[in-house]
Structures are given as structure tokens and as C-alpha cells.
Amino acid sequence: MSAEAKLAELGLTLPSVVPPMANYVRFKRAGDLIFLSGQGPRNPDGSIPNGKVGKEFTVEQGYEFARNTGLGLLAAMKEAAGSLDRIEVIKLLGMVNGVPEFGDQPRVINGCSDLFVAVLGENGRHARSAVGMGSLPGNMPVEIEVIVRVLP
């Protein structure tokens, strides 16, 4: 089943690709690798939610923010490669804006990892780091960057 069909089966649609917030590009391709710039979640109106996981947001809300961010990253992957069916996710770095004592970063970032595997199957499995941050741009709760490979 194609990635597009899997998205439809899951009742998901890819969002519009968001323009960069500063002086950088959404992705950079080097041979068969694509380095995707970090993205955060978006509210339905396009605004960025703000707050810390463990204070304003629960782990479950953080998971949904990571899933939402994953949809934006899938949209950027599709733009970069032309098709999600040609993508293999190599490495994911998930950053969680949490209170100092917060330690459930992996559970939060699972929102993105679970989405990639659900949509891309084995090509969605990846190496990963899930880390806590004292703050993130715009006080967003989650930021994720990804390295993918374009398959022949």
C-alpha cells in the first residue's frame, strides 16, 4: 500500500509546507540524503502552541504535538523527494520543551516515530534521540528534525 493510501486509511492529510521562520531552508539534499530542518506543531489556524510539557501540557498532549509535527515533516519529505514511497527515515532528533524534572521525552517523541512507522512501514523505522530542552523557539512544546534517504 502506498504511503498516500496509508495516510487516507488513517484519516490523515498532509498540511501545507510551512515557510521557514528565519534565514534557513526547509530541507537540504546531499546525494540521496535529505536533511529536514526542525519543525514544531501547528494549531489548526497555523499558530504555534506554546508551553512546557510537564507544566502546561501532559505527556499525552506532547505525544499529539509530536504526531502533528510528524505530519508537517512528512509534507516536507514529499516536497523534497516527490513521493513518500521513495523515503526511508534514517535518523530523528526529537526535542521536548519540558520542565527541568521532566523525563518522559521518549514517550512524547513516540508520537512522531509511531506516525512514521504507521505511514511508511519498515521505511519509517529509524535511529532516534529524544532530549529535553530548557526552551524552544516560540516556546513551542516540541521540535523535531529528521534525516531521510531517497530510495532509487
pLDDT in tens, 104-115: 999 999 999 999
Percent of the chain with pLDDT over 70: 100
In a domain, 20, yes or no: no
In a domain, 51, yes or no: yes
- CA torsion 152→13→80→129, rounded to 10°? -90
Helical H segments across 82-136, by residue range: 105-120
In a domain, 132, yes or no: yes
CATH number assigned to the domain comprising residue 63 = 3.30.1330.40
Domain count, the chain: 1
- pLDDT for residue 19: 84
**Domain range spanning residue 80?**
3-13+27-150
In a domain, 19, yes or no: no
- Supply 7's cell numbers: 495516510
In a domain, 92, yes or no: yes
Q: What is the pLDDT of residues 37-66, one digit of tens each?
A: 999 999 988 899 999 999 999 999 999 999
pLDDT over threshold 90, residue 27: yes
pTM of the entire predicted model: 0.96
In a domain, 146, yes or no: yes
| Contact yes or no for 90/147 (Cβ under 8 A) | yes
